[in-house]
Amino acid sequence: MARIGVVVFPGSNCEYDAANAVSALGADTAFVWHSESDLSGFDGIILPGGFAHGDYLRPGALARFSPVMTAVQRFAESGGPVLGICNGFQVLTEAGLLPGALQKNRGLTFLCQPSTLIVTSTRSVLTRSATVGQRLAVPINHFSGSYTCDDTIYDELVANDQIVVRYDENPNGSRDNIAGVSNAAGNVVGLMPHPERAMSTLLGSADGRVLLGSFLGLGAESLA
């Protein structure tokens, strides 16, 4: 079974939730402290939500200097699956592993609320077990989640099918309703919504299982 490393910065706060979610799907998990630089033995890496180094400057702006990010870059370059959730997505864009940037929400307030995602590409490790057009109830929880990029990057995202999930109703002003994107190869994905918070109908939705199960390489049939 997949062995997943969950990167922990001092200000991460969703690390337990992310680890619990993929454990519930059968993965082995281990926390990786941000000062470490060895990711050997992992089949996938998750950068969880939170406020990596307090993020008083700009979300993820300092985290990219943590030693672990050099290792994450090597891991990604060798084709390893990397998933950034919320703050993890912000960190991946700051580190240059994903295109674009995340700005403050359009309404200039933090938003914790349900959202409906529409899968728009199945080329990525996060969506390979989903179907295009599939609607997933996955909550958002962020202040800086408005995805932005210039026209050149946007055209590339569209041309390469890198827009992985979009919001059904745009909550934060993201360009073209973008909720998550992948790199060109599809092995590095970031999204603002929290699939680990949608693992059980007791908590409102189990649709996150499709995304995280996909990340673990589980087929759609095993996630039903």
Partner 1 sequence: MSTTEPLHRALGLTDSEFDDIIAVLGREPNHVELALYGVMWSEHCSYKSSRVHLKRLPSKGDHVLVGPGEGAGVIDAGDGIGVAIRIESHNHPSAIEPYQGAATGVGGILRDVFSMGARPLAVMDPLFFGELNDARQRWLVEGVVSGVSGYGNSVGVPTVGGELTFDQCYASNPLVNVLAVGALPTDRLVLGVASGVGNYAVLLGSRTGRDGIGGVSVLASAGFDGADGAESLDDAKRPSVQVGDPYEEKRLIEACLELLDNKLVVGIQDLGGAGIVCALSETAAKGGVGLDVDYTAIPLRETGMQPWEIMTSESQERMLAIITPENWEAVAALCAKWEVRATIVGHVGEPDVLPDGSTVGMLRVRKGFGGEIVAEVPASSLADEAPLYHRPLARPANLDEINADDPATEPSGDANAQLLELLICPSWVYRQYDSQLFLNTVVGPGRDGSLLRLGGPGLPESSRGIGLTTDSNPRWCALNPRVGTAYTVFEAAANLACVGAAPKALVNCLNFGNPTHPEVMWQLSESVDGMTEACLALGIPVVGGNVSLYNESGGNDIDPTPVVGLLGVVDSLTTPPPGWKWRDGDSIVLVGGRHAIGDVAFPLSGSRWATKRGRRGGQLGDVNVATVRDTLRFVTEEIATICAGHQSDITAVHDIGGGGLGVAIGEMVGTSRLGAVVSNIAGRDECFAEFPGRFVVATSDAASLLARAGAAGVPTEVIGTVGGDRYRLGDVIDLDVNVVADSRRDNLPTQLLAN
User: Exactly one of 15, 34, 53, 86 is catalytic; which is it?
Assistant: 86
Q: Is 202 in the site for partner 1 (CB under 8 A)?
A: yes
Where does this chain touch partner 1 (CB under 8 A) — which range of 71-79, 152-160, 178-186, 198-206? 198-206
| CB closer to partner 1, 149 vs 191 | 191
Closest CA to 139 of 90, 213, 204, 45: 204
Work out which of 1, 3, 38, 54 binds partner 1, going by CB under 8 A: 54
Binding mask 126-165 for partner 1 (x = CB under 8 A): -------------x-x-x----------------------
Q: Is 89 in the site for partner 1 (CB under 8 A)?
A: no
| CB closer to partner 1, 49 vs 81 | 49
The residues of the shown chain that bind partner 1, judged by CB under 8 A, are: 10-11, 13-14, 16-17, 20-21, 33, 50-51, 53-56, 109-113, 139, 141, 143, 194, 196-197, 199-204
